[in-house]
Amino acid sequence: MYAFIKVGARQEKVKVGDTFDMPRTTKKKEVSFDKVLMTVSGKDAVIGTPYIKGMKVTCDVIADKKGKKVIAFKFKRRKSYKRKIGHRDLLTTVKVKEIK
């Protein structure tokens, strides 16, 4: 069984035991997602409009970390203009415990 959930501004395909990164959260032990878009169990699929009522995915928080560095570089030729800006997203790694 797997499910598609909405995490922040993106969607994740998860099943029990999977780990994935999400935007940093302040919760320390457990996170639950009630915005479940779709679940598939064998050949049976349930599609929400837009979400499935009563479905919930619970996850355990594993660790906090920083994402990959992203660099934005601005440049204008012959004008002696250069700007280099970078940032790293703050992420939380979670492991799916249960889909109910």
In a domain, 80, yes or no: no
Number of domains comprising the chain: 1
Averaged over 77-86, what is the pLDDT? Answer: 97
In a domain, 18, yes or no: yes
CA–CA separation, 30 vs 61, rounded Å? 6
| DSSP class per residue in 7-43 | ETTEEEEEETT-EEEEE--S-SSEEEE--EEEEEETT
In a domain, 8, yes or no: yes
Q: What is the pLDDT of residues 4-29, one digit of tens each?
A: 999 989 999 999 999 999 999 888 89
Q: What is the pLDDT of residues 47-80, one digit of tens each?
A: 999 999 999 999 999 999 999 999 999 999 999 9
CB hemisphere CA count around 3 (13 angstroms): 25
pLDDT of residue 44: 94
In a domain, 69, yes or no: no
Domain span including residue 57: 2-62+93-99
In a domain, 24, yes or no: yes
